[in-house]
A and B are shown apart, each in its own frame.
Chain A
Amino acid sequence: MSTSPLLLAMLGDARLPSGGHTQSAGLEPALRAGLTPAGVPAYLRSRLRTVTRVEAGTAVVARAVAAGGGDLAEVEAAWAARTPSPALRANGRRLGRGYLRVLQTLWPGPVDARARTWSRPVVLGLLAHRAALAPADVARLVGYDDVQTATAALLKLEPQDPLLTAAWVNGLLPDIDEMAAQVARLRTPEQIPAHGAPLIERWAETHDTATERLFSA
């Protein structure tokens, strides 16, 4: 199954109105906890091996379950079990509602009444099924979005030469492809990887109660 490269470009474009501009991929609290801008590429590689891989795996499995007419609530439960931070779960579900608006407007059709409470990777999986996005491509989308979200947020938090961060993203593309290849064949909720990133999860909790912040998470 092949996806139109333009569909992937559109879904990966920051201008897609899904609420992405409120996000920093955990970067805002990470910088506050002492991460330096130079450490951002390594931070993103760590995410691609842990939390982002869980997200991408969830999206791939949700796509497969939606294609097979299964119950996405089971995928949602598997994602929640692998996302220990309540702040990250709440944020993921807010983002899910944003993508649900995109889904219902661009690929309308009946959706489960519980879909409003599902997280972004589960809704993205459903969207991938409806829009005929290949499994590896929805995983690539999750990885690419994570990397672009953090680097775009860095330009607001610790301004850099925007071409420098664009070069970082370019340098991370093979890592995104590699992560996508690792999760592309997953089919069932129990196959979703369960990598934790305790610091990222703790920072997300601290951030949730901060009164000075540019980004939701």
Chain B
Amino acid sequence: MPENTTATAPVRAMRLGVAGPVGTGKSSLIATLCRALAGELRLGVITNDIYTDEDARFLRSAGVLDPERIRPVETGACPHTAIRDDVTANLLAAEDMEADFGPLDLVVIESGGDNLTATFSPALVDAQLFVLDVAGGGDVVRKGGPGIARADLLVINKTDLGPYVGVDVARMAREGREAREGSPVVALSRHDEASVRTLTDWVRDALTRYRTGNHAPVDPGPMAPHFHADQDAGDAGDAHPHTHAHGPTHPDGTTDADGTADAHHGHAPANAGHGA
């Protein structure tokens, strides 16, 4: 896959996407990141609420960042479209954020909670987290999908809840690593300081790689390893995920320094209109 690696240091902030199903803790994770990093990094946050500016309000009220640096973007009921098929609104918001408060080090973009296939286009973000939580069930990692398999970092959140929901957190994290063929997984709880440090260290490392031009945005792509219902019938833990090749992973364009991008993808199926 041809990936564009910039040889020189990029001039704009790194853009970090945070995706994952509804309620898995994306906003809380961003609040945690802001709390930990606001002293050392210049931050901005863009939220994609589906119906309200609830996430933006939550983050503003958390008092972890200047409220002006937290901006909601409407997605026309298509959170999926706004981060992948048509990133225009988010890209303009990120540009405006930098124009108004720049220079910034990191702009975090929270996707409106969506399904397991909703991942960010590399035309919008430089790196992305995919957030699951233990309360959603230990089997979710085994369901796979582009976010679980290929996001830059998989977060298994709310590990403190494991005992209450009957989920073996260590096993869930291990199965996450297996699904990702070794790519990083963080088992996180905001009540667990060490896990928060692991997360913030990962973000610092990603930023360093981005700045030195050693990081290329990856499109998690449309292929989703999944189970067939009949294979799931027995012990789900023994079922084997497989992947249908629906075509090559898209070597999508990367965003260049002035924010214009070759954002011309053919992801949307012919009958999907706005997708999502």
Judge if B198 is at the interface, Cβ distance under 8 Å.
no
CB contacts (< 8 Å) of A170 on chain B: these are none
Main secondary structure of the interface of B (DSSP, over half): loop
Contact with B along A37-48 (1 / 0, CB 8 A): 000000000000
Report the interface size class on chain A. Answer: 20 to 34
CB contacts (< 8 Å) of B261 on chain A: these are 101, 105
Given that A19-B89, A101-B261 are known contacts, is A214 also in contact with B268, CB under 8 Å in the complex? no
CB contacts (< 8 Å) of A106 on chain B: these are 264
**Chain B residues bordering chain A, tally (CB within 8 A):** 29
Judge if A193 is at the interface, Cβ distance under 8 Å.
no
Distance in angstroms between the alpha carbons of A98 and B90 in the assembled complex: 11
Distance in angstroms between the alpha carbons of A212 and B88 in the assembled complex: 21
Question: Which one of A20-28, A70-78, A132-140, A198-206 contacts B?
Answer: A20-28
Judge if A104 is at the interface, Cβ distance under 8 Å.
yes
CB contacts (< 8 Å) of B265 on chain A: these are 17
Contact with B along A173-209 (1 / 0, CB 8 A): 0000000000000000000000000000000000000
Contact present for B76 and A215 (CB under 8 Å): yes
CB contacts (< 8 Å) of B73 on chain A: these are 22
Contact present for B52 and A17 (CB under 8 Å): no
Distance in angstroms between the alpha carbons of A21 and B80 in the assembled complex: 11
Judge if A152 is at the interface, Cβ distance under 8 Å.
yes
CB contacts (< 8 Å) of A114 on chain B: these are none
Residues facing B in A19-72 (CB within 8 A) are 19-24
Contact present for A105 and B262 (CB under 8 Å): yes
Contact present for A17 and B264 (CB under 8 Å): yes
CB contacts (< 8 Å) of A129 on chain B: these are none
Judge if B263 is at the interface, Cβ distance under 8 Å.
yes
Question: In whole Å, how far is B79's beta carbon from the nearest beta carbon of chain A?
Answer: 10
Given that A101-B88, A153-B76 are known contacts, is A15 also in contact with B260, CB under 8 Å in the complex? no
Which 5 pairs across A and B sit closest by C-beta, in order of nearness?
Answer: A19-B88, A17-B86, A156-B77, A21-B76, A98-B88
Taking beta carbons and an 8 Å cutoff, which residues of B are in contact with A? 50-53, 73-78, 81-82, 85-89, 91-92, 260-265, 268, 272-274
Taking beta carbons and an 8 Å cutoff, which residues of A are in contact with B? 14-15, 17-24, 94, 97-98, 101, 104-106, 152-153, 156, 211-216
List 16 additional A-B contacts (Cβ < 8 Å) besides A97-B92, A98-B89, A214-B50.
Answer: A15-B268, A17-B85, A19-B88, A19-B89, A21-B75, A21-B82, A21-B86, A22-B74, A22-B75, A22-B76, A94-B89, A98-B88, A212-B51, A213-B74, A215-B74, A216-B76
